[in-house]
Structure 1
């Protein structure tokens, strides 16, 4: 996983970005992150999937990830190499699916101050988003330590495998 505190480009989207806008349903023939990672935002912002580089960020407005409960939307961002998602608010199911898949997410009321192309980094423990372009730091809701651990270990599946392995010794 890319370190989300490392500054990288922000791809900014607006309010109410739903899971079908993140990954159009016609691409849901696979659950492979690499396959899905070729198509995020294909209809909404076609240049994204071609131009996004590993370690860059997605920034949303309010209610990011609304719609379907399927994990394909955050999985497509993982497959595209997105380092994390910052939004003013998330649909609850997207937020939890992202955590379960090891995709860092932060709720940041000031996410609307981030411009497309700004260089940002996110700090999960501190609950901050640093906008290096604007030389500003925004408060976010820090993830509780348990959720930070899930993300750092690559998601719920990886966390559970390690937990079972360590408990068996």
Structure 2
């Protein structure tokens, strides 16, 4: 793959099927379901404080990133948060993740974000190579109904 084969761009509604496929590869603790995805995806595309990017190779979506910019009190204004970043298995270590994050950083700067943060236990060397630092511990509490739990049958 050459850099000419890779295109990072804003996601469009036509990308829904391929992005949904990637979410099913991404999620470990929640099983993505199509109906909620089909409600959320267009809403995210229309949200001015959200950015959904895709990394396309040969015209097919092989990675995506979902991030937000929001106001804070403690950081003197806006911060950016990467909620989801995924590269399809078989397309990792080819520059897709880097290209997605760099494009998100460019967007976050235009939104006057003071910094970018994300929570992950995966690929620390990747994020460190892009000058991200470990800055804390991530806690979560699941409050969704049981049908969204891991191992639950698909709806």
Flag whether TM exceeds 0.5 (same fold).
no
Per the normalisation by structure 2, the TM-score is: 0.31
Instruction: Mark the structure with the bigger radius of gyration.
Output: 2
Per the normalisation by structure 1, the TM-score is: 0.29
Larger strand proportion of the pair: 2
